[in-house]
Amino acid sequence: MRHLSACLALAAFAACATAHAAPQTLTAEVGDIAFEAGDDDIVLVPLDDSFALSAATKGASDWPPPKTRIDRLAISCDRFQPGQALLLDAKDFARSTCDVRFELGHKGMGKDPEATWTLDKGASGNRFEITRAQDKHYEGRFTFQLKDASGEAIEVRNGRFVIEDRQL
């Protein structure tokens, strides 16, 4: 009887841990790159009134890891309220509490990216919007201007996401 109870508890935990309403997606055009992240490659972490959203090239979390290039996009800012819509514009991203980073070409664990772009805080087109929020599920869009250390610009456009807060 003890073994049956333990098995049932383990099965219930596994079902809860893996049961998600819909797969997560995040897509964007980053310069001339069609960036797409898959369900297991997207993480939303709400932190009090702020959030961190990170995504990697679809398949990046597979085992064995892909031998192809892995790109990463990270967005963080404040003014986040769980379960609510959100609009962040250029004024919000000009503040030091908001950041965006795109890394091109991780080719293995612990290796440096081929190139890195960070948020151009002076760009007027920076925008992140949660257009639909229901419980822990969020949908929205984004666009950003990024630049590398030498000032070379790259545009992130037509960004779309369907994500879920999967933190316990």
The token pair that represents 76 in the structure block:
């963080």
The token pair that represents 50 in the structure block:
């702020």
CA-wise closest residue to 30 among 56, 51, 59: 56
Pairing of strands 115-119, 127-134: unpaired
Would you list the domain boundaries of the chain?
Answer: 23-164
Whole-number Å distance between alpha carbons of 102 and 74: 7
The token pair that represents 112 in the structure block:
């440096």
SS3 14: helix
Q: Who's near 153: CB < 8 A, 6+ residues apart?
A: 120, 145, 146, 147
Query: Nearest 5°: CA angle at 48, between 45 and 51?
Result: 35
Q: State the pTM of this model.
A: 0.83
Each residue's pLDDT, cut to its tens digit, for the chain (168 residues) gives 444 344 333 334 433 444 556 799 999 999 999 999 989 999 999 988 999 999 999 888 878 877 778 899 999 999 999 999 999 999 999 988 899 999 998 666 677 899 999 999 999 999 999 999 998 999 999 999 999 999 999 999 999 999 999 986
